[in-house]
């Protein structure tokens, strides 16, 4: 649990820095999806899965701009189509197999 807590704190410190520079536009640099948005897509995708699997163990809702940005990115067709069908199940299995603290927070699928 201590390792999880430290990792989450470290992640949130980094996200706070991004939140500080992220404006209220739909995407990072405005209304159009760009490379920086694509670069953050895998992070937001995995955070969304973790939150789905664990009843929001790593919710980024406290970061209002990042949360809105994440939601905007995750509905972009190119982002949704960038992963194979069922990859979320593979990710769940990976968390489960690691048997770390996060695996104890998993809710039944």
Burial class (CB in 10 A: 0-12, 13-18, 19+), 85: exposed
> Is 71 a member of any domain?
yes
Q: Give domain status of residue 62, yes or no.
A: yes
At 109 the pLDDT is 62
In the chain, how many domains are there?
1
Check: CB of residue 76 under 8 Å from CB of residue 89.
no
Residue from 50, 73, 72, 70 nearest 61 by CA: 70
Per-residue pLDDT band for 8 (boundaries 50, 70, 90) equals very high
56-74, pLDDT tens digit by residue?
Answer: 999 999 999 999 999 999 9
Asked whether residue 17 carries a pLDDT value surpassing 80, the answer given is yes
pLDDT at position 108, please?
A: 77
Mean pLDDT throughout 96-102?
Answer: 96
Give CA–CA dist 9/70, Å, rounded: 19
- Boundaries of domain holding 96: 2-104
């Amino acid at each position: 649990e201590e390792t999880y807590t430290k990792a989450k704190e470290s992640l949130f410190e980094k996200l706070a820095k991004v939140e500080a520079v992220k404006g209220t536009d739909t995407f990072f640099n405005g209304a159009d999806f760009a490379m920086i948005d694509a670069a953050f897509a895998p992070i937001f995708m995995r955070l969304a899965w973790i939150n789905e699997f664990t009843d929001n163990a790593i919710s980024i809702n406290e970061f209002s701009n990042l949360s809105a940005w994440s939601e905007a990115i995750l509905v972009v067709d190119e982002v949704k189509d960038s992963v194979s069908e069922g990859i979320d199940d593979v990710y769940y299995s990976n968390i489960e197999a690691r048997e770390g603290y996060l695996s104890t927070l998993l809710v039944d699928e």
